[in-house]
Amino acid sequence: MLEWLETTLKRLNVTDTMDPPQGFTRLGYTQEEWAAMDVFQQVAEELGLNVRQDAAGNRIARWETEQEDYPSVSGLTAIPGASSRPAVALGSHLDTVVSGGGYDGVAGLLCALGAVKWLKRQGFTPLYPVEIICFAAEESARFGVSTIGSKAMAGLLSVEELAGVKDQHGITLREAVEQMGLSWSDITKAERSQQEIKRFVELHIEQGTRIEKSGAQFGVATAIACPIRLKIEVEGQMGHTGTTPMDERRDALVAVAPLISFVAERAEQLSASSPCPVVATASTLQVKPNVMNVIPGWVELGIDIRSVDDKLKIQLAQSIKEKCAELEQCYHVKIKIDTLVHNPSVTLDRSVADDLLQTGERLGYKGLLMESGAGHDVMNMAHKWPSGLLFIPCREGLSHHPREYAALDDLLMGTHILAAYLQGEAGE
């Protein structure tokens, strides 16, 4: 199994080595993502699953129940209504950020495929269909919008609002989707009914170090900290760097610098004084005109705020707004604040979480109930179906980085936990 996991990990990453110096770049709705999805389909078909692509470009690999596949050959008693039974679904994604790692997303599909392989070898016969869903475009790296495929499946996609969002080359989401042979106006057809899915579970690398620090071996999330994202636009005044006296400047970069420090310091203070952590990052910054001899006249800063406690997020966003008002006065600039994203945090189904925890511990692994600081496809699925999120550790908590790494032993552990979970949920 270890060897199969190692080989399939590389296959899904469309690579010969897991250590390319620039990492992996498979942005959503690109040929690179599609090539990896084609491999996913191939591996799933090798395992005997039927694979289809939905209207959003998600690939759904399905292990049908006996009755449907072999109604006359198997000799088993027909299970009444089996064909209409809801599926127990696993899933994750294959797209990455720019220069990301080969485990974020991939690990979840690899372990799910491994679990099916394992169960097939054990001669397991599912009473409920088992699905592995490879979601399209989970990362926000290309369009600033995350989890597009799972939003579509859960009926949460704002088709009109998102059609025109652009990537850095000016390609709209609508164009990108259509370049992959899909139809933007049909994308909502990817929505599935509540009856189609019994449970959804995503396995993901932790992207943090809490599992390791607590002495556990795997984690199970009870909630997902969804972000508030702010766009801060600062308008100052360009001018020649050599001829404009210091006291006559309205430098947009000088005005925004204290805000960058403030965001980090305030998040640290709030976390220290609250039972629940809050993290905040000034993660994007653009300066115009960005040339050596011109005073920055315009700066745009993107801020990402996360906590499973929505009140803390709102409190921090509020202090950022107050700080901006202060900076406007102090540096004689104009500051415009847009809330790009304000997603309430998602509480996951407690019984699924308990099942996952017990399943792992029965196999002899120590588990940790925890929150997820990152969003995942499961947060959309959880709006419609009882859902769970299983974490395996990754080295130094590193993610979205070429050095992202999860040990094969941990991938094997994840495979075993998912297989045992499927045995319970899709068996009797």
Binding-site annotation: residue ranges for Zn(2+): 93, 104, 139, 204, 400
Nearest to 301 by CA among 318, 284, 288: 284
58-87 residues in contact with its own copies (CB under 8 A) are none
404: left (phi over 0), alpha (psi -120 to 50) or beta: beta
Alpha-carbon distance of 51 to 37, in angstroms, equals 11
Helix, strand, coil share (%) of the chain residues, nearest 5: 40, 20, 40
If the CB atoms of residues 156 and 260 are measured against its own copies, the closer one turns out to be: 260
Reference 162, options 154, 23, 176; nearest CA is 176
CB of 114 to its own copies, least distance (A): 24
Q: How many of the other CB atoms lie within 10 Å of CB of 180?
A: 18
Which among 84-92, 189-197, 281-289, 348-356 is the span making contact with its own copies, rule CB under 8 A?
281-289
Positions 1 through 60 that interact with its own copies (CB under 8 A):
none
What the block records as the tokens of 409 is 């032993």
Which of 118, 103, 5 has the alpha carbon at shortest distance from 409? 5
From 14-22, 66-74, 346-354, 370-378, span contacting its own copies (CB under 8 A): 370-378
Among 53, 146, 150, 217, binds its own copies (CB under 8 A): 146
Among 176, 253, 320, 327, binds its own copies (CB under 8 A): 253
Distance CA 312, CA 324 (A): 18
Residues 207-246: x where in contact with its own copies by CB under 8 A, - otherwise, as a string: xxx---------------x-x-x-------xxxxxxxxxx
Smallest separation (angstroms) from its own copies to the CB of 101: 10
Q: Is 282 in the site for its own copies (CB under 8 A)?
A: yes
* Residue 119 exposed, middle or buried by CB count within 10 Å (0-12, 13-18, 19+): buried
Using CB under 8 A, count the residues that bind its own copies.
Answer: 70
Q: Out of 173, 279, 335, 419, name the contact with its own copies by CB under 8 A.
A: 279
Q: Does 99 bind its own copies (CB under 8 A)?
A: yes
Partnered with residue 305 across adjacent β-strands are 228, 280
Contact status: 125 vs its own copies (CB under 8 A): no
Region binding its own copies by CB under 8 A among candidate stretches 109-117, 151-159, 174-182, 373-381? 373-381
Give the interface segment with its own copies, choosing from 33-41, 118-126, 169-177, 205-213 (CB under 8 A).
205-213
Q: Considering beta carbons, is residue 47 or 340 the nearer one to its own copies?
A: 340
- For 332-372, where are the alpha helices, taking DSSP H only? 350-362
Binding site residue list for allantoate: 229, 293, 306
Return the DSSP state at 184: G
Q: How far is it, in rounded angstroms, from Cα 36 to Cα 51?
A: 14
What distance in Å separates the CA atoms of residue 33 and residue 415, rounded to the nearest whole number? 23
Q: Hey, CA dihedral for 246, 247, 248, 251, is it positive or negative?
A: positive
Binding site for its own copies (CB under 8 A): 97-99, 139-141, 144, 146, 206-209, 225, 227, 229, 237-249, 251, 253-254, 257-258, 260-261, 264, 267-268, 271, 277, 279-287, 289-297, 302, 304, 306, 372-375, 397-401
